[in-house]
Structure 1
């Protein structure tokens, strides 16, 4: 009779094996149609994740149901390393997202963001030219600023609006610039304008420029990353509990395999 632990491990890995197929297919589909930096940035991680799940699930499935101890041992080693990686990443995510928050602006419904408020590690990653060019491309391709312009808001409506971090940081100039409002993404600089605020000098009403190279835009990106990473960290805690439970069941299945290999059924009892 096949042990319960072997059945549980086998069924769980059958599910992940089936899930890995559409993930790999999705990565291949992205590769075939990727024409932008944003799409190209996503394709390799998706394919890697799908292939990883496919290989690990196959090892766990065959090792549990066919009771091949070597495959199950390799499966458990990978699972242990995955548990360590997820645990370390969760702690890391909580640490680096501990700093940084939007600043309330008097008379505004939205907040504004400063790059210096976030962790140095995140600042360096987003401020690196190579990284920022890709991120900037993704923001432009998302058309977040164009959708903001299409609202055709009056100044009072705009000031009361609850803008997202990207909208606040990338699509409009900072409030301190005191530019003249024409529309959500069109602001006039006073004649002969000069400022010691770099973002005010970087701002252009050109839809291809706006404030995409502003420090406030990079801060808006980090505000999004902080929110997303905190959510991921919470999900990782749940995922970690599930991984530990599956790993424990896998250990039982491995022990069963070793016992059955050491005392084959055909020998019978003395």
Structure 2
């Protein structure tokens, strides 16, 4: 029994280590400017990682100190957490399965359309009371000001590979026909009727295209890229956690069998 208990404790210690990439993924998302403004995914990931850590710690203690009820608690609750983590992995994949950038004439960067993205993601940014908060958060960052420091000439800017968020929020859509002065200052639109965003553009540095659908689409494109990266980490962790859980179940069953056999020998031999 002692050997089995030590094995169970060691297995659950490894499960504790698997909580680190989950918590780390949530913290990484929270440090990204767009995710920190939207505040959708990072806290569920962080909370789930902390719960995995706590439950694995309970299993670790139950294994080394031979506390059967604590091991049973670990087996039941960890199964629930694995199901929640699997559901989160599938959900993130589904909501980020749509949407991509579009080429603009004579531009190296891509432009983005809100309708390309999943309805669930669009609802996170389309409602005015939500977007007002997100817009204020985005406008307080230095992402657009950085473009002015990096690109002084039009052709350099047109050849730049800027982020989806910068493409959507810091400049007007290419089809509007604005004339470049600097990356965040444009004049003399040719076709203001080409897109509603053409009318939303403002040279006021706190406004720019933050009210545009292209800005919302750029935000979703950024989120998609980061969420997909996070989803890969969570998927790998999920597979490892399932393997550890199954090994732990086998070790727990063997420990129970060993314990029953020991009691049988004590009673009848």
Q: TM-score range by the shorter chain?
A: 0.7 to 0.9
State the shift of 1:101 in Å. 0.9
Whole-angstrom CA distance in 1 between matches of 2:201 and 2:100: 23
Question: Could you say which residue in structure 2 is the equivalent of 1:92?
Answer: 91
Question: Could you say which residue in structure 2 is the equivalent of 1:222?
Answer: 220
Whole-angstrom CA distance in 1 between matches of 2:46 and 2:227: 22
State the shift of 1:194 in Å. 5.0
* CA shift in 2, pair 1:158/1:47, >3 Å: closer
Question: Could you say which residue in structure 2 is the equivalent of 1:34?
Answer: none
Unmatched tracts of structure 2, length 5 or more: none
Question: Could you say which residue in structure 2 is the equivalent of 1:113?
Answer: 112
Question: Could you say which residue in structure 2 is the equivalent of 1:155?
Answer: 154
Is 1:66–2:65 an aligned residue pair?
Answer: yes
**1:209-251: CA deviation from partner (whole Å, max 9, x where unpaired):** 1111110000001111222222233223211210111111221
State the shift of 1:196 in Å. 5.8
State the shift of 1:152 in Å. 4.1
Task: Work out whether residues 114 and 216 of structure 1, in 8 Å CA contact, stay in contact via their aligned partners in 2.
Answer: yes
Question: Could you say which residue in structure 2 is the equivalent of 1:12?
Answer: 14
Number of matched pairs: 256
Task: Work out whether residues 16 and 57 of structure 1, in 8 Å CA contact, stay in contact via their aligned partners in 2.
Answer: no
State the shift of 1:10 in Å. 4.0
Question: Could you say which residue in structure 1 is the equivalent of 2:207?
Answer: 209
SS in 2 for 1:142: coil
- Stretch of structure 1 that moved more, 221-230 or 255-264: 255-264
Task: Work out whether residues 145 and 185 of structure 1, in 8 Å CA contact, stay in contact via their aligned partners in 2.
Answer: yes
Normalised to the residue count of structure 1, the TM-score between the two structures is 0.80
Question: Could you say which residue in structure 1 is the equivalent of 2:102?
Answer: 103
* CA shift in 2, pair 1:119/1:10, >3 Å: closer
Is 1:75–2:74 an aligned residue pair?
Answer: yes
* CA shift in 2, pair 1:94/1:264, >3 Å: same
Is 1:129–2:131 an aligned residue pair?
Answer: no
State the shift of 1:175 in Å. 0.8
**1:139-190: CA deviation from partner (whole Å, max 9, x where unpaired):** 2343111111112421111111111101100000001111121100011245
Whole-angstrom CA distance in 2 between matches of 1:38 and 1:86: 21
Is 1:56–2:46 an aligned residue pair?
Answer: no
SS in 2 for 1:181: strand
Task: Work out whether residues 104 and 111 of structure 1, in 8 Å CA contact, stay in contact via their aligned partners in 2.
Answer: yes
Task: Work out whether residues 107 and 159 of structure 1, in 8 Å CA contact, stay in contact via their aligned partners in 2.
Answer: yes
Whole-angstrom CA distance in 2 between matches of 1:233 and 1:186: 37
SS in 2 for 1:2: helix
Whole-angstrom CA distance in 2 between matches of 1:150 and 1:220: 21
State the shift of 1:64 in Å. 1.3
Whole-angstrom CA distance in 2 between matches of 1:241 and 1:141: 39
* CA shift in 2, pair 1:106/1:45, >3 Å: same
Task: Work out whether residues 69 and 258 of structure 1, in 8 Å CA contact, stay in contact via their aligned partners in 2.
Answer: no
Q: Considering only aligned residues, what root-mean-square deviation do their CA atoms show, in Å?
A: 3.2
